């Protein structure tokens, strides 16, 4: 497919996700290099959904290590159970944080980040990486983001099995 996304900027959030998902699947289809695919996923999400920060942390031994992302520079390593990312890894479940100031132990990579959603990517029964999305608006993520971002991560999981 052409390296170009076609998403109407006037569409609502669910419509944007619905249009975007098959295009991202097309982008990663046939490419076996994980870093290349994560980089394009982060770029496609940032470009289309206008998130403040979007990227991956990859499980390496007992830490999450920063992977491909789009947005301001970020902390490079997060321990199991620390911050929103380390908690989503430990629990192996999606976490939505409406107000990062109210999440105990939140790791502030940027003071402009106000709300956050973190989705684990699970293969062979283990969390392999997490997708972290930050917004500069309070309470910016809901079940629509959860549904479509989880669907997208399931597509990624199927390439890891």
Out of 39, 74, 80, 151, point to the residue binding ligand SME (CB under 6 A). 74
Question: Following DSSP, what letter does each residue of 116-140 receive, concatenated?
Answer: EEEEEEEETTEEEEEEEEEESSTT-
User: Minimal distance in Å, beta carbon 96 to ligand SME?
Assistant: 13
Residues in CB range of 31: below 8 A, 6 or more apart: 37
Q: Is 107 in the site for ligand SME (CB under 6 A)?
A: yes
- How many C-beta atoms lie closer than 10 Å to residue 120's C-beta? 23
Question: Taking contact as CB under 6 A, which single stretch among the options 16-24, 29-37, 108-116, 136-144 is the one that binds ligand SME?
Answer: 108-116
The 3-state DSSP composition of the chain as helix, strand, coil percent (nearest 5) reads 40, 25, 35
Q: Which is nearer to ligand SME, 23 or 98 (CB)?
A: 98
Subset of 132-161 contacting ligand SME (CB under 6 A): 132, 134
Which residues would be at the binding site for ligand SME (CB under 6 A)?
Answer: 53, 74-75, 78, 83-86, 106-107, 109, 113, 116, 132, 134
């Amino acid at each position: 497919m052409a390296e170009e996304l076609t998403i109407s900027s006037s569409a609502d959030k669910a419509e944007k996700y619905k249009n975007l998902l098959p295009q991202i699947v097309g982008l990663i289809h046939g490419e076996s290099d994980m870093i290349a695919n994560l980089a394009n996923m982060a770029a496609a999400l940032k470009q289309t959904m206008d998130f403040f920060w979007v990227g991956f942390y990859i499980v390496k031994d007992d830490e999450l290590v920063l992977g491909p992302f789009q947005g301001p520079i970020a902390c490079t390593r997060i321990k199991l159970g620390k911050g929103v990312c380390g908690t989503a890894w430990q629990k192996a479940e999606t976490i939505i944080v409406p107000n990062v100031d109210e999440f105990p132990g939140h790791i502030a990579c940027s003071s402009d980040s106000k709300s956050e959603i973190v989705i684990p990517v699970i293969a062979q029964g283990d969390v392999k990486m997490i997708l972290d999305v930050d917004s500069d608006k309070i309470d910016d993520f809901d079940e629509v983001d959860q549904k479509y971002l989880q669907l997208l991560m399931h597509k990624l999981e199927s390439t890891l099995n």
